């Protein structure tokens, strides 16, 4: 890497550390910080990250200063006659108790956050089943019309013509995006049709494995409208990089219109029929 790129990376790191909320709405080159959170869960994840970052920085600075002090104060030239003290009870208690206290301070918000992520509300407003295939996603709505459809990435190996034509970002745009209403609880049940996949939507704080023969459940509640992108986050084969996720968060009226049109287009179709209809 050239000096110029090192300089750009350092400037980006300084920018993100100075203004942590200055970020872009989708992945971009030289991105360092999180994407802007679009759910309360992701906001809590970011806050927990900032807490851990502060603790890590404080510990690192303490260790660096301690090492510097030891090297300057107790080298052979400054300290020709070394001490023969073999132990110090007070110091040994301190370096045992302090790490325990730090771990407890980390564990309390960590367990609280894990509980919030895993505690799916009992009556979600929308229930979606995301099924991972090699190499695309299919979505089922068993409670809202009993239909399913496939969502294929627009970018394919060797060509991005479809993504460019649809004005979608490379490796992130799909032909049939999933739409959900804003400020509603969305329950997402994942499973895999062939190998292990992972349904990941970073700005919502969601990342859940889709495992064949097993149903995993998660949830999110979008706090703003917009288009949000994710990708399969589990190495699932040769075209793993071409398995994106696109979710559009819309108003209630727009969601109802989308739901009606999707029911009309895909209701009663099998998985293979849905794939042909999508094409």
Fold classification of 126-278 is Immunoglobulin-like (2.60.40)
Predicted local confidence at residue 272, as pLDDT: 52
The residues spanned by each domain of the chain are: 40-79+89-118, 126-278
Q: Is the pLDDT of residue 1 over 50?
A: no
Q: Is the pLDDT of residue 208 over 60?
A: yes
Residue found under tokens 């649809």: 166
Predicted local confidence at residue 24, as pLDDT: 45
Predicted local confidence at residue 189, as pLDDT: 96
C-alpha 178/C-alpha 147 separation (Å) is: 13
Reduced to 3 states (helix: H, G, I; strand: E, B; else coil), residue 88 is: coil
Q: Give this prediction's pTM.
A: 0.77
Better-predicted residue by pLDDT, 78 or 151: 151
Tens digits of per-residue pLDDT, 20-66?
333 345 667 777 888 889 999 999 999 999 999 999 999 999 999 99
Better-predicted residue by pLDDT, 7 or 146: 146
Q: Is the pLDDT of residue 150 over 90?
A: yes
Q: Is the pLDDT of residue 2 over 70?
A: no
Phi then psi for residue 40, to 5 deg, are: -65, -35
Q: Is the pLDDT of residue 269 over 80?
A: no
Tens digits of per-residue pLDDT, 190-204?
999 999 999 999 999
Q: Supply the DSSP symbol for 1.
A: -
Q: What is the dihedral of CA 126, 131, 132, 134, to 10 degrees?
A: -140
Concatenated DSSP letters of 26-83: S--TT--SPPPP-BHHHHHHHHHHHHHHHHHHHHHHHHHHHHHHHHHHSSTTT-SS--
Q: Is the pLDDT of residue 169 over 60?
A: yes
Q: Is the pLDDT of residue 97 over 80?
A: yes
Q: Is the pLDDT of residue 270 over 80?
A: no
Predicted local confidence at residue 65, as pLDDT: 97
Assess whether the previous peptide bond of 135 is cis (omega < 30° from 0).
yes
Predicted local confidence at residue 64, as pLDDT: 97
Q: Is the pLDDT of residue 126 over 50?
A: yes
CB 165 within 8 A of CB 152: no
C-alpha 103/C-alpha 115 separation (Å) is: 18
């Amino acid at each position: 890497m050239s000096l110029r790129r090192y300089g750009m990376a350092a400037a980006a790191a300084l920018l993100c550390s100075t203004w942590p909320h200055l970020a872009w709405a989708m992945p971009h080159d030289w991105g360092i910080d999180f994407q802007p959170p679009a759910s309360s869960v992701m906001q809590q994840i970011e806050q927990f990250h900032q807490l851990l970052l502060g603790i890590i920085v404080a510990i690192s600075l303490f260790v660096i200063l301690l090492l510097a002090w030891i090297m300057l104060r107790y080298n052979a030239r400054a300290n020709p006659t070394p001490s023969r003290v073999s132990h110090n009870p007070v110091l040994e208690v301190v370096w045992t108790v302090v790490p325990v206290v730090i771990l407890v301070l980390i564990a309390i918000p960590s367990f609280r956050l894990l509980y919030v992520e895993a505690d799916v509300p009992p009556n979600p407003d929308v229930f979606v089943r995301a099924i991972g295939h090699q190499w695309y996603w299919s979505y089922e709505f068993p409670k809202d019309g009993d239909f399913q459809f496939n969502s294929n990435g627009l970018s394919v190996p060797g060509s991005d013509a479809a993504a460019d034509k649809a004005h979608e970002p490379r490796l992130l745009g799909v032909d049939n995006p999933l739409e959900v209403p804003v400020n509603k609880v969305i329950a997402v049940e994942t499973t895999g049709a062939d190998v292990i996949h992972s349904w990941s939507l970073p700005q919502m704080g969601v990342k859940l494995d889709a495992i064949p023969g097993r149903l995993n459940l998660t949830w999110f509640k979008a706090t703003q409208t917009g288009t949000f992108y994710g990708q399969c986050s589990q190495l699932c084969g040769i075209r793993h990089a071409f398995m994106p996720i696109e979710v559009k968060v819309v108003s209630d009226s727009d969601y109802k219109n989308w739901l009606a049109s999707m029911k009309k287009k895909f209701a009663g179709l099998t998985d293979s029929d849905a794939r042909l209809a999508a094409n």
